[in-house]
Amino acid sequence: MPALLLIHSDADALAKQRALMEILNLLFQSTLQIFGTWGDLTAEQVLSNPLTEYTDRLFEMYSRALMGSLREEVSLRITALRGLILLCRIRRLFQESEIGMVVQYFDQVLLEVEEKEEIKELALQGLKDISKIKPNLIMDITFPAFMAQLPDSEKEVDPSKPYTATLEALAKLSLGRSVFQVLLTRLLNKLDVVLRGKVEAHRFIRTIEADLVKRKIWPNVPPSNSFYAVVCSAGKVRE
């Protein structure tokens, strides 16, 4: 590891940096298999993780490659994204504050209108992976950031902003029931405003309904739930 980090620090060419990071990503994959991910039911390894000593340098290296590189450096940034996802998943490697920073990075990537689509897709997958192991970070960081992109009044509606894509991303990130309930609460706080925007309202309803049906959650939503009443009254869910 020290030799790889030294070579990387001395590498001027981006292609060489990317190649070294791809090698490190393979090492991270092996480490993940040995030490497991957060929440694994298997017993933790008695031996300490040798990557722990280099956590700060790895975090800085991959963060700089993702957020500090030009948008056109797609291959380098994809490699950095994949590495950060692996590092976040390795059990007890990153501190929660570091994983939280990665969540913020991924949020910025997804909310950037001009970002490359393949980068966005990988960032969304990364957030979904983190949602499985640290759902509190998605609820505390991602949800507020995404909800802030939705208008609070009709005057704030901007046709150029991808409101539907934001709602779709939120739906895809609400993997667990607890996360989903938090999402519903936040969405209900915005629902009156969204419903007044006719086109976006219908898209909103279809987006949430489709996700509920796909993940077989809708049949378990009780009629007493306020969201159930809103969706049914909109005529978008056929019982």
Question: For the chain, how long is the longest CA-to-CA vector?
Answer: 63
Split at pLDDT 50, 70, 90, the class of 236 is very low
Q: Does residue 165 register a pLDDT over 90?
A: no
Q: What was the pLDDT predicted at 177?
A: 75
3-state secondary structure 170-231: HHHHCCCHHHHHHHHHHHHHHHHHHHHCHHHHHHHHHHHHHHHHHCCCHHHCCCCCHHHHHH
Q: What was the pLDDT predicted at 148?
A: 84
Higher pLDDT, 102 or 202: 102
Higher pLDDT, 84 or 193: 84
Rounded to whole angstroms, the Cα distance separating 122 from 136 reads 20
Highest-pLDDT range among 118-127, 144-153, 158-167, 226-235: 118-127
Count the Cβ atoms, other than its own, within 10 Å of residue 66. Answer: 24
Cα torsion angle, 60, 63, 68, 74, sign: positive
pTM given for the model: 0.78
Q: How does pLDDT run across 9-20, given as a tens digit for each residue?
A: 766 778 888 999
Q: Does residue 60 register a pLDDT over 60?
A: yes
Q: Does residue 99 register a pLDDT over 90?
A: yes
Three-state DSSP class for residue 8: helix
Mean confidence (pLDDT) of the chain: 79
Q: What was the pLDDT predicted at 155?
A: 66
Higher pLDDT, 102 or 146: 102
Whether residue 78 contacts residue 118, with contact meaning beta carbons closer than 8 Å, is answered with: yes
Rounded to whole angstroms, the Cα distance separating 140 from 127 reads 13
Summarize the confidence of residues 138-160 as an average pLDDT. Answer: 79
Higher pLDDT, 87 or 48: 87
> H helices of 42-173, where?
55-67, 74-89, 96-111, 117-133, 135-137, 143-147, 163-173
Q: What was the pLDDT predicted at 237?
A: 42
Rounded to whole angstroms, the Cα distance separating 203 from 195 reads 10
Rounded to whole angstroms, the Cα distance separating 231 from 226 reads 9
Q: What was the pLDDT predicted at 101?
A: 97
Could you give phi then psi for residue 79, rounded to 5 degrees? -60, -40
Summarize the confidence of residues 65-77 as an average pLDDT. Answer: 92
Rounded to whole angstroms, the Cα distance separating 197 from 213 reads 24
From the list 77, 90, 102, the residue with the least C-alpha distance to 18 is 77
Whether residue 126 contacts residue 165, with contact meaning beta carbons closer than 8 Å, is answered with: no
